[in-house]
Amino acid sequence: MTTFASIAPHLGRQAIELPSWAFGNSGTRFRVFGTPGTPRDPFEKIADAAQVHAHTGLAPTVALHIPWDKVDDYAALRAHADEHGVALGTINSNTFQDEEYKFGSLAASDPVARQRAIDHHFECIDIMHKTGSRDLKIWLADGTNYPGQDDMRRRQDALAESLATIYERIGDDQRLVLEYKFFEPAFYHTDVPDWGTAYAQVAALGDRAMVCLDTGHHAPGTNIEFIVMQLQRLGKLGSFDFNSRFYADDDLIVGAADPFQLFRIMVEVVRGGGYDEGSDVGFMLDQCHNIEEKIPGQIRSVLNVQEMTARALLIDREALDAAQRANDVLTANGILMNAFYTDVRPDLAAWRESRGLPADPLTAYATSGHHERIVAERVGGTQAGWNA
Ligand code: PSV
Ligand code: MN
């Protein structure tokens, strides 16, 4: 039996990147509710993200979204992050909100739209040099709504060409990470709908092109941990966008809808070396807090990932391997389930305290005064939103 004491030394290397947009207002197409104290610019988003790290020790970096997080002075933004004890992380491009992208961006048949999208990515790479970011993450809304609307093959070829042009521009220590999503906003076909397409596209580029797996971007019932296994096996699992979903791309708190699925994903991550010392797999959240408070929502999320990581590490790998090789179905399954059902929360609380962190990060944040301070200070101006 693997004990908590034996896995404790491995918990310190967990690092989960927070999305700047989680701190802005978000909602559905029906309503976006505002909240007192919501950040009004990228500096305030970073100050909020830093609270998550200060209370959990789990979230040392913040992902930015361009153009939502555009600033005049990236050195100042970087210094601001540093002062708050965090660093700037992945740069997310955005080719889904301009009029010009109505019929697509990197995969569009129209060369003008395509060039505009390529130029946008060049701008993102310039920003990455200033922010010190490793990853350029590309998620495309490209696709069509009706059979026959456009030529899927031409679009796939166009996409390959666009990605090659962007890949050529990234630095030696930078990576291009391509995210897939099976539908929405396009409803008939999507140009990067699945891991296989993302894999085929990045495999053609080179070693520094990887796949991003957003846990909310699969059809219901998909065995996501199988995909995690396969991408790691192929050396192409670049990063995760963690969130959870009940129906479609709900962007809810990771682990909220299906904690067992999050556990199974972390089991494969550990099995495949994605949690090893020096692993370059990125662990990001991609969530929106439509009705709950945003900073506590992010704290809850990183704690959920930590809990399931700890449970995955608790698996007695030797015993599991022996049971699997002996085709001892029930013992093998029992070993996995024992780890899943282990309540690690008291041990994690003690582990946190041993590192000078609050045993209960949510209560510590609630009594820290940060919430009252931002509500009092952030009056006037325009609140940041998911798309601003
Ligand atoms: C849109 O569906 C999306 O949620 C993608 O998952 C991206 O990662 C994210 O927005 C930020 O662009
Ligand atoms: Mn995503």
| Cα–Cα–Cα angle for 105, 201, 261, rounded to 5 degrees | 95
Task: Report if residue 371 sits inside a domain.
Answer: no
Task: Report if residue 328 sits inside a domain.
Answer: no
Task: Report if residue 355 sits inside a domain.
Answer: no
Contacts for 249 with CB less than 8 Å, ≥ 6 apart? 181, 184, 214, 216, 217
With a cut of 90, say whether residue 144 has pLDDT above it: yes
Contacts for 361 with CB less than 8 Å, ≥ 6 apart? 55, 56, 299, 303, 352
Per residue in 82-139, pLDDT (tens digit) is 999 999 999 999 999 999 999 999 999 999 999 999 999 999 999 999 999 999 999 9
Name the residue with the closest Cα to ligand 1, atom 4.
Answer: 286
With a 6 Å cutoff on the Cβ, whether 249 touches ligand 1 is yes
Specify whether the CB–CB gap between 62 and 18 falls below 8 A.
Answer: yes
How far apart are the C-alpha atoms of 3 and 331, rounded to whole Å?
19
Question: Averaged over 65-84, what is the pLDDT?
Answer: 98
Per residue in 283-320, pLDDT (tens digit) is 999 999 999 999 999 999 999 999 999 999 999 999 99
Helix (H) or strand (E) holding 272: helix 259-272
With a 6 Å cutoff on the Cβ, whether 139 touches ligand 1 is yes
Which ligand ends up closest to the CA of 285? 2
- Atom of ligand 1 minimally distant from the CA of 249: 2
Which ligand ends up closest to the CA of 93? 1
Task: Report if residue 288 sits inside a domain.
Answer: yes
With a cut of 90, say whether residue 1 has pLDDT above it: no
In the chain, % of residues over pLDDT 70: 100
How far apart are the C-alpha atoms of 22 and 48, rounded to whole Å?
10
Task: Report if residue 370 sits inside a domain.
Answer: no
Task: Report if residue 337 sits inside a domain.
Answer: no
Specify whether the CB–CB gap between 54 and 85 falls below 8 A.
Answer: yes
With a 6 Å cutoff on the Cβ, whether 225 touches ligand 1 is no
How far CA 104 is from CA of 141, 152, 166, 354, in Å, comes to 7, 12, 16, 51
Name the residue with the closest Cα to ligand 1, atom 8.
Answer: 139
Per residue in 254-283, pLDDT (tens digit) is 999 999 999 999 999 999 999 999 999 999
In our burial notation (b when 16+ CB lie closer than 10 A, e otherwise), range 292-322 reads eebbbbbbbbbbbbbbbbbbbbbbbeebbee
What's the gap in Å between 364 CA and the centre of ligand 2?
29
How far apart are the C-alpha atoms of 202 and 189, rounded to whole Å?
20
What's the gap in Å between 215 CA and the centre of ligand 1?
11
Which ligand ends up closest to the CA of 135? 1
Task: Report if residue 198 sits inside a domain.
Answer: yes
With a cut of 70, say whether residue 251 has pLDDT above it: yes
With a cut of 80, say whether residue 343 has pLDDT above it: yes
Task: Report if residue 3 sits inside a domain.
Answer: no
With a 6 Å cutoff on the Cβ, whether 286 touches ligand 1 is yes
How far CA 138 is from CA of 185, 198, 314, 360, 385, in Å, comes to 15, 11, 34, 36, 20
Largest pairwise CA distance in the chain = 66
Domain hosting residue 209, numbered range: 12-315
In the chain, % of residues over pLDDT 90: 99
pTM exceeding the 0.85 threshold for the entire prediction: yes
With a cut of 90, say whether residue 385 has pLDDT above it: no
Closest to 282 in 3D by CA, of 135, 130, 121, 124:
135
What pLDDT sits at residue 388? 63
Question: Averaged over 326-335, what is the pLDDT?
Answer: 98
Per residue in 79-89, pLDDT (tens digit) is 999 999 999 99
Number of domains in the chain: 1
CATH for 137: 3.20.20.150
How far apart are the C-alpha atoms of 201 and 180, rounded to whole Å?
11
- Atom of ligand 1 minimally distant from the CA of 179: 8
Per residue in 32-60, pLDDT (tens digit) is 999 999 999 999 999 999 999 999 999 99
